[in-house]
Amino acid sequence: MDSLSGARVVVTGGAGFVGSWLCERLLAEGAAVWAVDSLVTGTRRNVAHVLDHQSFTLTEADVSQGIPDPGDLDLVLHLACPASPVAYLRMPLQTLDVASNGTRHALDLAERHGARFLLSSTSEVYGDPLVHPQREDYWGNVNPIGPRSVYDEGKRFAESLTMAYRRARGVDTTIARIFNTYGPRMAFEDGRVVPTFVHQALHDLPLTVAGDGSQTRSLCWVEDTVDGLVRLALSDHPGPINLGNDEETTVLDLARTIIGLADSRSEIDHIELPEDDPRIRRPDLTRAREVLGWSPTTSAADGLQRTIEWMDELRRAA
């Protein structure tokens, strides 16, 4: 495929945080979009502005039980899965079910129509990495029985299943490994570091920094991530390809930055580190740059400021 104009696309998890931004981008490029979402972690509010678009359909369905077939398709973009620690720790069995049965149903849908399939995987497949930065040929360091394994190992299984369909059944598949994406439409109670810190800062509450805060994260603005997903979907590369920002920051520095940007009176409160919390995280983007001509363009200062303004607007409207 060279263009999204006229393309027919299914997006599982289309009412979620990243999924809703992806649907918006696909519609802007001229695609017809069928979003499928159980609305367990996604919300209609995320796609309210496109619900009346003539080329957009939202279907409420649990992909682990099956995916409604809209007919001829060009792309199946599989983003459905609880992605925040709060969500997947609350729903461990459902998370594994979506990663396994949900991925298989999405692959079957792509196979029936000869459509290209994209799996939205995660940097969590690298676990608490022993290699830094993380390249796509690194196999990772994941605790297979820890509490986070329902997400980490679920995505690793989804990647394995995707490659099995490619090798054994000839399905045109690809895999994106997404790193720490942030921006508007993240849930306040998401549990990930940016919405947690922003919510605390806006309410002048202590920012809860795990451990001494020396652990690092690499944060990518959501529209940059979506641009990478679109480029990968339109390519013929099988993946995996890292999509993220290779500018690394410590969690403590991030907390201080958000306090400053939010003009907050918050202080910093150090809390216990969660089990299996990764100490370092930064993508090697060589493959993304060489294959897709992609790299993030939004600065952390700009992206965090826009996120703070969005969350503050919702807070004031509540």
C-alpha 17/C-alpha 151 separation (Å) is 17
pLDDT, tens digit (0-9, with 9 covering 90-100), for 52-97? 999 999 999 999 999 999 999 999 999 999 988 889 999 999 999 9
Provide the pLDDT for residue 278: 79
Domains in the chain with CATH codes = 8-183+220-246+279-297 (3.40.50.720)
Provide the pLDDT for residue 295: 96
**Residues annotated as catalytic (active site), given as ranges:** 151
3-state helix, strand, coil in the chain (%, to 5): 40, 20, 40
Averaged pLDDT for residues 235-255: 95
Cis preceding-peptide flag for 133 (omega within 30 of 0): yes
pLDDT, tens digit (0-9, with 9 covering 90-100), for 4-51? 999 999 999 999 999 999 999 999 999 999 999 999 999 999 999 999
Q: How many residues are there in the chain?
A: 318
The answer to whether residues 143 and 105 touch, using CB atoms and an 8 Å cutoff, is no
Per DSSP, helices labelled H in the chain are: 17-28, 85-90, 92-97, 103-113, 149-169, 193-202, 222-234, 251-261, 286-287, 300-317
Amino acid at 113: H
Identify which of 91, 57, 64, 65 has the alpha carbon closest to the alpha carbon of residue 80. 64
Averaged pLDDT for residues 240-265: 94
- Residue 317's contacts (CB-CB under 8 Å, 6 or more residues apart) are none
The predicted model scores a pTM of: 0.95
Q: Which two tokens stand for residue 286?
A: 């060589």
Provide the pLDDT for residue 78: 98
Provide the pLDDT for residue 314: 85
pLDDT at 260 over 80: yes
Amino acid at 71: G
Share of the chain above pLDDT 90, in %: 87
* CA 119 distance to own-chain centroid: 11
Question: At 94, phi and psi to the nearest 5?
Answer: -65, -35
Provide the pLDDT for residue 2: 82
SS (H, E, C) 222-238: HHHHHHHHHHHHHCCCC
| Averaged pLDDT score across all residues of the chain | 94
pLDDT, tens digit (0-9, with 9 covering 90-100), for 102-151? 999 999 999 999 999 999 999 999 999 999 999 999 999 999 999 999 99
C-alpha 318/C-alpha 129 separation (Å) is 40
- Residue 272 pLDDT class (50, 70, 90 cuts): confident
Estimate the crossing angle of helix 300-317 against helix 251-261, to 10 degrees: 60
C-alpha 72/C-alpha 51 separation (Å) is 21
Provide the pLDDT for residue 315: 81
